[in-house]
A = this chain, B = another copy of it.
Amino acid sequence: MARTIGSHSDITGPRVREAALTLFARHGYAAVSMRQIAAEVGVQAGALYNYTPDKQSLLADLLAAHMDELLVAHTAETPKNSAPTDALEHFTRFHIRFNAARADAVFISYMELRNLSAENFGRIEALRRVYEGRLEAILRAGVASGAFDIPDPKITALALIAMLTGVNTWFREAGRLSLAEIEEIYWGMVRKTVAV
Give the interface of A toward B (CB within 8 A).
Answer: 26-31, 111, 114-115, 151-152, 155-156, 158-163, 165-167, 169-170, 177, 182, 184-186, 188-189, 192-195
Contacts and interface: CB of A to CB of B under 8 A. Distances in A.
Contacts of A169: 158, 162
5 contacts: A151-B184, A159-B166, A162-B165, A189-B193, A192-B195
A169 B163 CA distance: 13
Nearest to A196: B192
Contacts of A167: 159
Nearest to A176: B154
A116 to B, nearest CB: 12
Contact of A162 (B111, B152, B156, B166): B166
A1 B80 CA distance: 61
A156 B161 CA distance: 15
A61 to B, nearest CB: 19
A182 B189 CA distance: 19
Contacts of A193: 189, 192-193
Nearest to A181: B152
A177 B155 contact: yes
Contacts of A155: 177, 182, 185
Contacts of A195: 192
A182 B152 CA distance: 10
Nearest to A149: B192
Given A111-B111, A162-B169, A192-B195, A185 B152 contact: yes
A161 B28 CA distance: 24
Contacts of A162: 162-163, 165-166, 169
Shortest 6 CB-CB contacts between residues of A and residues of B:
A162-B166, A30-B30, A30-B31, A163-B163, A159-B163, A189-B193
